[in-house]
């Protein structure tokens, strides 16, 4: 056993030495008078990936910032990286010098979503697709969706009544149903809804699995389901064309109807990749934030009562008008509830960072960011910096009575690649909170102090919650 251990040890160090010499030989020569940011690169090739995944990622990034400052280097997932934890640096990468940093994703994830998704592109194609998506998910189009979104909320909560469910899983189904409504309107057959949901959740399950493309693995199953999604979407588009009713009052119709300056339309592959891409962007992130909102309101009873008081005023006003649904004007007037959402987005920081890649050697504050290196603005570090948010680990919605300093609050990212569906996400949160606090009470089952990552942070086990509908008299009190 000792001999085997020595052989294994010598083999490991020999391979590490070969990798080190190879990297040293091919190392780029830094620009004159510029040095790389401080930091540790860890083991050859492996870098500090094991350290990142063996602890809370937030602790990993926070400890790095504490040791090295607001710009530091590391090596993760086989890539040299520069981490940036200041508002100025985030703006530099995402806004003022965005042309020097391209969006980048692991190849396995790009394959899963589709290479034509707007997230993987820049330039004219990205701007065109972003405008189309943002136009379909903007305030003008969302106004008319409120009754339908509220109907989905009511159906979900009624089914939850008296049961223990994972909040995160319930919210994933809710956000999926809202996305289907927004993307396809009321034109989608029940058969297509069932097929889309079935295959999408297979893709979703395999999206963050190890990319081993062998039969039986989650990744393989996800790739097969992704092919099915393309087939289903192609079938839906062909049916619309055959009926001569493409329409442009939902996202699919807008993409199908769009022409560029030369009159060329998007291909079916381009449309499918963008539908699936926006669906991915809209679902887990929104579901994660909604899960945290349920937890934060539960943990702060006085705040919950204040939010309930604000929402009861809207409920009573609508009852006096013949039980009408929420209106767009009302959702814009939920001052305290808006602050709760903003603070939940800050505290949870679902999008902890974003990936970019330097397309040229870049100088920033006397440091070199070499071409090809990954660059990661750390939103969570900025959101939890006491310089910008005093007592950052305390849930205090009142802090948003005053607008945060520029570039310190970026829950939906920043620049041209910021989330184009943020208005839809906020509408889902407002409608859910309104119906939840005015008509139900809930209790968390078990402990909820631990966090899991899937890949976004959520309370352990998705926050199991038991829900009870309030009596009619309780609703009116």
**What are the extents of the domains in the chain?**
32-113+352-410
Does position 30 have pLDDT exceeding 50, yes or no?
Answer: no
pTM of the predicted structure, to 2 decimals: 0.86
Range 321-348 average pLDDT: 94
More confident residue, 9 or 78: 78
419 marked as binding residue? yes
Q: Give strand ranges (E) for 108-243.
A: 164-166
pLDDT of 55 higher than 70: no
Is residue 103 within 8 A of residue 119, CB to CB? The reply is yes
* Per-residue pLDDT at 17: 46
- Closest among 143, 139, 130 to 254, alpha carbons compared: 130
- The 3-state DSSP class for residue 151 equals helix
d(CA 179, CA 183): 6
Alpha carbons 121 and 116: distance in angstroms, whole number: 8
CA dist 75 and 283 (Å) reads 30
> For the chain, what percent of residues have pLDDT higher than 70?
91
pLDDT given for residue 251 in this prediction = 92
CATH class of 32-113+352-410: alpha beta
**Average pLDDT over all residues of the chain:** 87
pLDDT computed for residue 364 by the predictor: 94
2, pLDDT greater than 60: no
Q: Is the CB of residue 188 less than 8 Å from the CB of residue 255?
A: no
Average pLDDT over residues 453-463: 84
How are beta strands 367-369 and 362-364 bridged, if at all?
antiparallel
Task: Report the 10 Å Cβ neighbour count for 176.
Answer: 23
pLDDT at 273: 95
Closest CA to 433 of 319, 344, 317: 344
468 three-class SS? strand
């Amino acid at each position: 056993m000792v001999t085997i251990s020595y052989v294994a040890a010598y083999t490991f160090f020999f391979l590490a030495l070969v990798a080190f010499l190879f990297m040293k030989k091919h190392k780029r020569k830094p620009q004159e008078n510029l040095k790389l940011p401080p930091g540790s690169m860890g083991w050859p090739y492996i870098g500090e990936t094991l350290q990142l995944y063996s602890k809370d990622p937030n602790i990993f990034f926070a400890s790095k910032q504490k040791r090295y400052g607001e710009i530091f280097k590391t090596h993760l997932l086989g890539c040299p990286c520069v981490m940036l934890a200041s508002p100025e640096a985030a703006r530099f990468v995402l806004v003022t010098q965005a042309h020097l940093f391209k969006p980048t994703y692991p190849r396995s994830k790009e394959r899963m979503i589709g290479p034509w998704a707007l997230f993987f592109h820049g330039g004219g194609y990205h701007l065109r697709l972003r405008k189309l998506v943002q136009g379909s998910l903007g305030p003008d189009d969302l106004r008319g969706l409120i009754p339908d979104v509220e109907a989905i909320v009511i159906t979900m909560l009624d089914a939850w009544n008296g049961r223990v469910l994972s909040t995160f899983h319930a919210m994933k189904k809710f956000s999926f149903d809202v996305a289907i409504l927004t993307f396809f309107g009321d034109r989608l057959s029940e058969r297509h809804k069932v097929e889309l949901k079935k295959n999408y959740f297979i893709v979703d399950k395999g999206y963050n699995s190890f990319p081993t493309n062998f039969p039986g693995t989650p990744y393989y199953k996800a790739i097969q389901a992704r092919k099915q999604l393309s087939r289903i979407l192609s079938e839906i588009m062909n049916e619309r064309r055959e009926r001569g009713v493409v329409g442009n009052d939902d996202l699919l119709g807008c993409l199908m109807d769009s022409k560029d300056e030369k009159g060329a339309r998007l291909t079916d592959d381009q449309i499918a990749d963008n539908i699936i891409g926006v669906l991915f962007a809209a679902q887990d992130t929104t579901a994660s934030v909604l899960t945290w909102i349920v937890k934060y309101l539960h943990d702060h009873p006085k705040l919950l009562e204040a939010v309930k008081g604000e929402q009861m005023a809207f409920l009573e006003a609508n009852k006096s008008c013949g039980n009408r649904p929420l209106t767009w004007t009302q959702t814009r007037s939920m001052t305290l509830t808006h602050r709760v959402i903003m603070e939940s987005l800050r505290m949870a920081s679902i999008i902890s960072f974003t990936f970019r890649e330097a397309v040229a050697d870049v100088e920033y504050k006397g440091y070199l960011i070499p071409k090809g290196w990954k660059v990661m603005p750390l939103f969570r570090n900025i959101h939890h910096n006491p310089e910008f948010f005093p007592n950052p680990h305390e849930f205090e919605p009142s802090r948003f009575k005053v607008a945060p300093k520029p570039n310190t609050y970026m829950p939906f990212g920043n620049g041209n690649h910021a989330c184009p569906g943020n208005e839809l996400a906020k509408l889902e949160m407002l409608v859910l909170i309104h119906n939840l606090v005015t008509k139900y009470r809930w209790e968390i089952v078990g402990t909820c102090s631990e966090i899991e990552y899937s890949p976004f942070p959520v309370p352990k086990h998705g926050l199991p919650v038991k829900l009870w509908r309030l009596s009619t008299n309780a609703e009116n009190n």
